[in-house]
């Protein structure tokens, strides 16, 4: 069973049983025609719907779709996502990083980012000198920097928080 949220409010439980589509415990008959890999046409209860996928994020299981000109944001959870949520382990698979910590004690030679800056995974954040070597710490995620907790010339300890993300 899939749980699909639309615009973070409307929730649908969708499942396939014996080649039938069940939505919120009601059998639904759809006439679906795929136009392309990102466009479809659906007839449902004598009404026509043109659907286009605008943006798809498979990692987050989110999607922006346009239905007859109106854009909707959707988020889907499969049975495994629901199980992880029940066990309280849903945040472990999100891939989101809240902070960058010092991997070793050292001296901050240069801070390459500022607060409120948008960074992409792999962007350089700062240069840390440790054991007479310069180490460039890179972003492990896409995000916006909420706080830079260090400045050039600071001595840091292992696991000290250096940068926090929103």
pLDDT value of position 140: 83
* Per-residue pLDDT at 89 exceeds 70: no
Give residue 86's region: left, alpha or beta (phi > 0; psi -120 to 50): alpha
Give the β-pairing of 20-23 and 26-28. Answer: antiparallel
- At 17, list the tokens: 């049983």
Mean local confidence (pLDDT), 142-151 = 92
Distance CA(37)–CA(53), nearest Å, equals 9
All structural domains of the chain, each given as residue ranges with its CATH number in brackets, are: 2-93 (no CATH), 99-165 (2.40.50.100)
pLDDT-derived band at 48, boundaries 50, 70, 90 = very high
Question: CA 14, 19, 25, 29 torsion: positive or negative?
Answer: positive
Least confident range from 7-21, 44-58, 102-116: namely: 7-21
Measure the CA–CA gap between 113 and 76, rounded to whole angstroms: 34
Residue 79, SS3? helix
Q: pLDDT value at position 91?
A: 56
On average, the pLDDT of the chain sits at 89
Residue 95 pLDDT > 60: no
How confident is residue 1, by pLDDT bands cut at 50, 70 and 90? confident
Rounded to an integer, the average pLDDT of 126-140 is 90
At 88, the pLDDT band (50, 70, 90 cuts) reads low
């Amino acid at each position: 069973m899939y749980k699909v949220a639309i615009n973070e409010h409307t929730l649908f439980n969708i499942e396939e049983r014996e080649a039938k589509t069940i939505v919120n415990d009601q059998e639904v008959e759809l006439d679906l025609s795929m136009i392309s890999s990102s466009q479809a046409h659906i007839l449902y209860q004598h009404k026509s719907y043109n659907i286009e996928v605008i943006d798809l994020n498979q990692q987050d299981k989110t999607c922006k779709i346009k239905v007859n000109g109106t854009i909707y944001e959707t988020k889907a959870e499969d049975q495994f996502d629901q199980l992880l949520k029940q066990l309280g382990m849903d945040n472990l698979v999100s891939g989101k990083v809240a902070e960058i910590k010092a991997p070793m004690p050292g001296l901050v030679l240069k801070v390459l980012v500022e607060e409120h800056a948008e960074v992409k995974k792999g962007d350089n954040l700062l240069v840390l000198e440790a054991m007479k070597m310069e180490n460039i710490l890179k972003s492990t995620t896409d995000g916006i920097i909420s706080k830079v907790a260090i400045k050039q010339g600071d001595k840091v300890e292992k696991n000290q928080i250096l940068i926090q993300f929103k």
